[in-house]
Structure 1
Amino acid sequence: MRKSTIDLEIRHAMWSRRRFLKTGAGILAGMAGLNALPIQAAADPHKIVVVGGGFGGATAAKYFKLWARESGLDVDVTLIDPNANYSSPILSGMVVTRQLEIDRLDFSFDRLRDVHNVNLLQDSVTAIDSAGKTVTLSDGTTTLPYDRLILAPGISFIDVEGWDKDKIPHGWSGRDQLQLLTQQLADFPEGGTFVLKVPAAPYRCPPGPYERASTVADYLQVQNKNARVIVLDAQADIAIESETFHDLYDEFGVEYYGNIQVQRVNSGDDEGNGKSITYVTLEKDIDGNVIGQSSEQTIEADVINLIGDHKAADLIFEAGLNDGNWAPVNPLTYESTISGKEFIHILGDSQGTPIVKAGQAANNEAKVCVDAILRILAGETPYGSPIVTVGCSAPVTQTKVNWAGNIWRYNAGTLQMEKYVGKFAPEPSEANWQPMLQWAHNLFADSFG
Structure 2
Amino acid sequence: MGKSTVGLEVRQALWSRRQLLKIGAGLMVGLSGLNSFNAFAAAPHVVVVGGGFGGATAAKYLKLWGKGTVNVTLIEPNASYSSPILSGMVVTNQLEVDRLDFGYNRLVDIHGVNILQDKVTAVDSGAKTVTLADGSSTLSYDRLILAPGIDFIDVPGWEPDKLPHAWSGRDQLVTLKDQLANFPVGGTFVIKIPKLPYRCPPGPYERASTVADYLRVNNKEANVIVLDAQADISIEADMFHAFYSEFGVEYRPNIEVTSVDSGDEEGNGRSITFSQAGGVAETVEADVINLIPDHKAGSIIFDAGLNVDNWAPINPLTYESTIVGKENIHILGDSQATAQVKGGQAANAQAKVCADAILRIMAGDSPYDTPITTVGCSAPVTQTKVNWAGKAWRYDPAADGGNGAMVVSAGNAATEPSELHLDAMLKWANNLFADTFG
Q: TM-score, normalised by structure 1?
A: 0.89
The residue aligned with 1:5 is 12
The residue aligned with 1:280 is 275
Paired residue for 1:111, among 98, 106, 109?
A: 106
Kindly provide the amino acid, as one letter, of the partner of residue 5 in structure 1.
Q
The residue aligned with 1:325 is 310
TM-aligned CA deviation for residue 5 of structure 1: 2.2
Matched, 1:148 2:143: yes
TM-aligned CA deviation for residue 9 of structure 1: 3.3
Paired residue for 2:357, among 368, 372, 389?
A: 372
Matched, 1:259 2:254: yes
Cα deviations across residues 329-369 of structure 1 (Å, max 9, x unaligned)? 00000000011000000000000000000100000000000
Cα deviations across residues 420-439 of structure 1 (Å, max 9, x unaligned)? 21211100000000100000
The residue aligned with 2:86 is 91
Kindly provide the amino acid, as one letter, of the partner of residue 303 in structure 1.
V
Matched, 1:65 2:63: yes
Kindly provide the amino acid, as one letter, of the partner of residue 358 in structure 1.
G
TM-aligned CA deviation for residue 4 of structure 1: 5.8
Kindly provide the amino acid, as one letter, of the partner of residue 329 in structure 2.
I
Kindly provide the amino acid, as one letter, of the partner of residue 373 in structure 1.
I
Kindly provide the amino acid, as one letter, of the partner of residue 62 in structure 1.
K
Q: What SS does the corresponding residue of 2:17 show, helix, strand or coil? A: coil
The residue aligned with 2:298 is 313
The residue aligned with 1:15 is none
Matched, 1:185 2:180: yes
Cα distance in 2, alignment partners of residues 405 and 379 from structure 1 = 35
Q: What SS does the corresponding residue of 2:424 show, helix, strand or coil? A: helix
The residue aligned with 1:54 is 52
Q: What SS does the corresponding residue of 2:84 show, helix, strand or coil? A: coil
Larger relative contact order (Cα-Cα within 8 Å, sequence gap ≥ 6): 1
Kindly provide the amino acid, as one letter, of the partner of residue 396 in structure 1.
V
The residue aligned with 1:434 is 423
Cα distance in 1, alignment partners of residues 218 and 41 from structure 2 = 64
- Structure 2 gaps, min length 5: 1-9, 22-39
Matched, 1:448 2:433: no
Q: What SS does the corresponding residue of 1:367 show, helix, strand or coil? A: helix
TM-aligned CA deviation for residue 8 of structure 1: 2.6
Kindly provide the amino acid, as one letter, of the partner of residue 343 in structure 2.
A
The residue aligned with 2:410 is 421
Kindly provide the amino acid, as one letter, of the partner of residue 345 in structure 2.
Q
Counterparts of residues 169-248 of structure 1 (less than 5 Å): 169-248=164-243
The residue aligned with 2:32 is none
Q: What SS does the corresponding residue of 2:367 show, helix, strand or coil? A: coil
Give the structure with the larger helix fraction. Answer: 2
Kindly provide the amino acid, as one letter, of the partner of residue 202 in structure 1.
P
TM-aligned CA deviation for residue 231 of structure 1: 0.3
TM-aligned CA deviation for residue 43 of structure 1: 7.4
TM-aligned CA deviation for residue 10 of structure 1: 5.4
TM-aligned CA deviation for residue 222 of structure 1: 1.3
Kindly provide the amino acid, as one letter, of the partner of residue 52 in structure 2.
G
The residue aligned with 1:37 is none
Q: TM-score, normalised by structure 2?
A: 0.91
Q: Percent identity?
A: 67
Cα distance in 2, alignment partners of residues 67 and 155 from structure 1 = 28
Q: What SS does the corresponding residue of 2:207 show, helix, strand or coil? A: helix
The residue aligned with 1:290 is none
Cα deviations across residues 300-334 of structure 1 (Å, max 9, x unaligned)? 00000000000000110000000000000000000
Q: What SS does the corresponding residue of 2:81 show, helix, strand or coil? A: strand
TM-aligned CA deviation for residue 419 of structure 1: 1.1
TM-aligned CA deviation for residue 11 of structure 1: 5.5
Matched, 1:74 2:69: yes
Which stretch shifts more, 420-429 or 194-203?
420-429
TM-aligned CA deviation for residue 145 of structure 1: 0.3
Cα distance in 1, alignment partners of residues 42 and 243 from structure 2 = 58
Contact 2:49 2:146 in 1 (8 A): yes
Contact 2:46 2:70 in 1 (8 A): yes
Kindly provide the amino acid, as one letter, of the partner of residue 187 in structure 1.
N
Contact 1:375 1:381 in 2 (8 A): yes
Kindly provide the amino acid, as one letter, of the partner of residue 45 in structure 2.
K
Kindly provide the amino acid, as one letter, of the partner of residue 44 in structure 1.
A
Pairwise CA RMSD of aligned residues? 1.3
Cα deviations across residues 160-210 of structure 1 (Å, max 9, x unaligned)? 111111110000010111111111111111110000000000000000000
Cα deviations across residues 91-130 of structure 1 (Å, max 9, x unaligned)? 0000000000000000000100111111011000000000
Going from structure 1 to structure 2, the CA distance change for 1:43 and 1:191 (only over 3 Å counts) comes to closer
Kindly provide the amino acid, as one letter, of the partner of residue 218 in structure 2.
Q
Q: What SS does the corresponding residue of 1:8 show, helix, strand or coil? A: helix
Contact 1:267 1:275 in 2 (8 A): yes
